[in-house]
Amino acid sequence: SNEIDLFKISRILLQLMGETYNKNTLKRIIFFRIFNSVIMVYTSLFITANFFYASGGNHVETMQGLILVTHTLLKYLLYIYFKPGIRELLQNKHEESWAYQDIDNHIMAAIIKMSKTTELIQVFVLLAMSITAILYLFRPILTRNNPFPFEAWVSGVIIMDVITLACLYYFFCIVIPIVLSYDSIYLCLCIQTVGQVKLLKNRLRYFQGSVKADISYYIKYHQFLLSTFSGLRRLYSSMLLFHYFVTLITACTGIFEVLMGRNSATDIAAKAITICAAFFQFAYYTFPAEMIAFELSDLSNSIYLSKWYINTVNVQKQLLFMMTKSQHQLYFTGGGLIDINVKTFGSAVRTSFSFYTLLRNILTK
């Protein structure tokens, strides 16, 4: 088979999170969830406390650390809450998806290329996040001006500070599995859906007289793809809205630190990678969302280019209904407030630099 297992990285990361049932009982999974959540809450409290003791640019670094921990904690809680829905969506995709057979070679080649690109993107982001985490882990050794990987309150009580340091290091061990597994599942579901829509378009465009028997099957499968789209939109709506604002704040403060702060080469490298990672993470959501929206709306064009006119009036009516339904542009939304597409990504990049200019003017006065 030419099909690529897109979820391989996600499964490995979920095992690292302790979220798989093949090696863990329900009690152990609940224990992992409570333990991980407590660590992140404890860490966020000490980072928040640093706002009262930080000065100057340290407020910006403290904000970056708090955003990172809050971002990770929210994704973790959302994954736990939506895990049954995600599992159901994956199960339905496994049972209902068409096999990639009886398809044009150029369409098959496009799907394989898209799958390989998706796999490479996952590996690239995994490496980028790993490098960033390593730079932060070694930051106390390399900079020697902060005992913690990022700005947090130093209480002066040795036991408490050692516990805080241990929690911060543990956090950096779980941040990649939590964040990237959640993002990768979304990305892979979107890419698989895009591939299935391409397959449906191909079969509709080149059908012959057998369409009389197949039309109900095609309509039913189109409805399945629309329900998959709706399921993804529902499961990720709140995270999309949160991610939009996190991208703005992370990129804005990161740009400020790189361009205006007095940082070591290690700090600049870590922050530059953090900015790129923030944009890449948001691209994880916007570009696949745009691809699904385009493919679903382009389905009407495939029907129009097919031999719809050789069929009975009843079949033509059914095709017209499918065509009309496909012409309605559908987008993922962030909490129902903003559409998530490529334009939104461009807007986030531009707005980040605008906020950086505003922040620079405020803090340099």
* Tokens 């209480």 found at: 155
The DSSP element (H or E) to which 340 belongs, if any, is strand 338-340
The strand pair at 332-334 and 338-340 is best described as antiparallel
What does the block give as tokens for 276?
């790129």
Q: What is the dihedral of CA 39, 44, 49, 54, to 10 degrees?
A: 120
**CA distance from start to end of the chain:** 63
Map tokens 């979107």 to a residue.
190
Domain ranges of the chain: 8-363
Q: By percentage, how much of the chain surpasses pLDDT 90? A: 2
Residues 6+ apart with CB under 8 A from 357: none
Q: Tokens 């994954």 belong to which residue? A: 79
Instruction: Inform me whether the pLDDT recorded for 143 exceeds 70.
Output: no
- The one-letter amino acid code at 44 reads S
Residue 311 confidence (pLDDT) above 50: yes
Average of per-residue pLDDT across 162-188? 86
Over 80: is that where the pLDDT of 333 sits?
yes
Element holding 333 (H helix, E strand): strand 332-334
Alpha helices in the chain (DSSP H): 8-17, 26-49, 58-96, 105-137, 139-143, 158-205, 211-260, 265-305, 313-326, 342-363
Q: Is the dihedral of CA 124, 236, 348, 47 positive or negative?
A: negative
Instruction: Check whether 56 has a pLDDT greater than 70.
Output: no
pTM, whole model, 2 decimals?
0.79
CA atoms of 26 and 307, how far apart (whole Å): 54
Rg of the chain over all Cα atoms, to the nearest angstrom: 24
pLDDT band at 174 (very low <50, low <70, confident <90, very high): confident
pLDDT per residue as tens digits for the range 195-205: 888 887 877 77
What residue has token string 């809680």?
77
Given a cut of 80, is residue 126 above it in pLDDT?
yes
Mean pLDDT of 323-333: 72
pLDDT at 354: 81
Q: With bands split at pLDDT 50, 70 and 90, how would you rate the model's confidence at 1?
A: very low
Q: Which residues, at least 6 apart from 363, have a Cβ–Cβ distance to it below 8 Å?
A: 57, 60, 256, 260
Q: What's the whole-number average pLDDT of the chain?
A: 78
Residue 210 has pLDDT above 60, yes or no: no
pLDDT digits (tens, 9 = 90+) for 252-306: 877 777 776 666 676 677 677 778 878 877 888 888 888 888 888 877 777 766 6
Q: Label residue 50 by pLDDT band (50, 70, 90).
A: confident
Model confidence band, residue 309 (pLDDT cutoffs 50, 70, 90): low
